[in-house]
Amino acid sequence: MTTTTTHHLPADDAMRRVLHDEVHARPPARIRLPALVIYVAVFNSDVRREDELAHLQKLSGQASLNIDQLSDNFLRLRLDGCTLKWERHTEFTRYSIVQPLPEGAGLGVCDPELPVHESISPAWIAGIPGRTFSAIKIAMVEGDLSDPVARLDDARTWLGEHPVVASLMGNQRHSIIVTDFQLRETGYERMLIIAPPGTSETRAGRISARLIELETYRLMALKGLPVSKLLGPQLGMAERQLVDITSQLENKSTSDQALLDTLVSLAAGVERLTAEHAYRFSATRAYHDLVEQRVAELREQPIPGTQTISEFMHRRLSPAMATVAATSHRLTSLSERISRASALLRTRVDIATEEQNRQLLEKLTRGQELQLNLQTTVEGLSIAAISYYVVSLVYYFAKAGKLAGLPLSPEIVAGVSIPVVLFGVWRLTKRIHDKLHSGGH
């Protein structure tokens, strides 16, 4: 009998399946105890996915791998006698090999050899593309946890009597983790996990995944520390330069243009440092948060006579993270102080510009007043000149009338016409003046 399932939903968004399956993208390995996990993480900034594919194809039976199988940034390969997991992240790529624990490497031996499985040659591991920043060998063995102190003594012997940190993990004390956080001559760190008989494969996989992520994120968080140390002298020099600029700004001992040039140069340098290192500081904060999450997930309980991992992390990692945070804050604060100094300088320049504009307006106003006075004087002279010519015409007109026999005295007619002509010319000039002004508005 065939059952048909009807999809009573709107059409799926293009990203729905990708977002839904992201939670299953990197499942932890299933590990059967006793086992050895060999982990290598490399920076991949200069490594292409094609380079990693070519290296994976060198493994026995993997020549048919193609680039599409690496598109999800996760791949688990089953080899003869072991498994290999490849994971590509933004800044690094991880390779994890899960294999049976070699003979003679269990509890009771001192600093045993932990060779990689014969399916994967040491030369293949050495040829992984990238630059190594983390390499760990995690031995996972079975043991009785009823006496944690005795198991801790066994672990000290196994690690070679180095100073160790250790803790019981889980509310039900499901395992003991012991490590010395030491780099050995082989380039690997070592961790030892002791779990009771019957530990499930999924729990063993989750335990190893948490420890691997804890150490990876710890080292990635510490990547910001060298940057902070490098920036310290540069920030100190920039701060002193800003103090000098502020002092000159206060004392007005340097021209605004010279101050502006110096301030712009300083601001450009600080912005360059911010652009170069802001991502590193943000990444450091993010990785540190992940470290704290992974430590909390361990749910540690102390074993008498040794530090827990969380105590070790707090003592050794917190000062470095505080240094990175202080440098990041210092860089941000310096940028803000430069912005405030720039605002002060701009304010002073604006005030000086406004004063220059005011003086210019005063000069223009005085010029307009002079021009108005001159115009009034010219108008008065014009009225007098025009009246003179008009009176002259009246005089000649009266003189012509007298010669024609009219009883007129040219001098009297001219004299009587002067007030009339003056008033007429003034009135005409005023009307023209008013008309021009009304037309201008």
Report the relative pairing of strands 82-88 and 74-79 from DSSP bridges: antiparallel
Give the separation between CA 222 and CA 29, rounded to whole angstroms: 27
**Contacts (Cβ under 8 Å, ≥6 apart) of 32:** 201, 204
> DSSP 3-state assignment of 197?
coil
Six-digit token pair at 361?
Answer: 């307006």
Does position 437 have pLDDT exceeding 80, yes or no?
Answer: no
Give pLDDT, residue 429.
77
The β-bridge partners of 141 are 194
**Contacts (Cβ under 8 Å, ≥6 apart) of 99:** 35, 36, 38, 81, 82, 83, 116, 117
Give the separation between CA 214 and CA 39, rounded to whole angstroms: 13
Counting residues of the chain whose pLDDT is more than 70, the rounded percentage is: 92
Give pLDDT, residue 4.
57
Judged by average pLDDT, the poorest of 12-26, 143-157, 275-289, 294-308 is: 12-26
Give the residue from 125, 96, 123 showing the smallest Cα distance to 35.
96
If you average pLDDT over residues 361-382, what whole number do you get?
74
Give the separation between CA 124 and CA 323, rounded to whole angstroms: 38
Judged by average pLDDT, the poorest of 89-93, 136-140, 159-163, 309-313 is: 159-163
If you average pLDDT over residues 97-102, what whole number do you get?
93
pLDDT band at 96, cuts 50/70/90? Answer: very high
Give the separation between CA 380 and CA 304, rounded to whole angstroms: 114
If you average pLDDT over residues 337-357, what whole number do you get?
76
Q: How far out from the chain centre does Cα 253 lie?
A: 37
Are the CB atoms for 139 and 114 separated by under 8 Å?
yes
φ, ψ at 93 (rounded to 5°):
-125, 140
Give pLDDT, residue 24.
61
Give pLDDT, residue 346.
76
> DSSP 3-state assignment of 171?
coil
Neighbour tally for 329: CB within 10 Å:
11
Residue with tokens 């007619």: 413
Judged by average pLDDT, the poorest of 120-134, 297-311, 375-389 is: 375-389
Give pLDDT, residue 25.
61
Does position 2 have pLDDT exceeding 80, yes or no?
Answer: no
Give the separation between CA 229 and CA 326, rounded to whole angstroms: 11
Dihedral sign, CA of 421, 427, 428, 433? positive
Give the residue from 381, 383, 411 showing the smallest Cα distance to 398.
411
Average per-residue pLDDT for the chain: 84
Give the separation between CA 1 and CA 284, rounded to whole angstroms: 58
Give the separation between CA 308 and CA 310, rounded to whole angstroms: 5
If you average pLDDT over residues 315-327, what whole number do you get?
90
Q: Which of 29-33, 287-291, 376-380, 389-393 has the highest mean pLDDT?
A: 287-291
Give pLDDT, residue 270.
86
Report the relative pairing of strands 189-195 and 131-142 from DSSP bridges: parallel
pLDDT band at 425, cuts 50/70/90? Answer: confident
If you average pLDDT over residues 267-271, what whole number do you get?
87
Give pLDDT, residue 189.
93
pLDDT band at 174, cuts 50/70/90? Answer: confident
Residue with tokens 């039976």: 61
Alpha-carbon distances of 99 from 38, 126, 202, rounded to whole Å:
8, 18, 15
Give the separation between CA 74 and CA 64, rounded to whole angstroms: 17
Six-digit token pair at 54?
Answer: 């070519």
Give the separation between CA 190 and CA 113, rounded to whole angstroms: 11
Are the CB atoms for 224 and 324 separated by under 8 Å?
yes
Are the CB atoms for 55 and 42 separated by under 8 Å?
no
If you average pLDDT over residues 20-35, what whole number do you get?
76
Q: Which of 18-27, 130-139, 143-152 has the highest mean pLDDT?
A: 130-139
Judged by average pLDDT, the poorest of 110-114, 224-228, 254-258, 391-395 is: 254-258
Give the separation between CA 189 and CA 172, rounded to whole angstroms: 27
Are the CB atoms for 263 and 345 separated by under 8 Å?
yes
Judged by average pLDDT, the poorest of 6-10, 231-235, 321-325 is: 6-10
Give pLDDT, residue 83.
93
φ, ψ at 161 (rounded to 5°):
60, 30
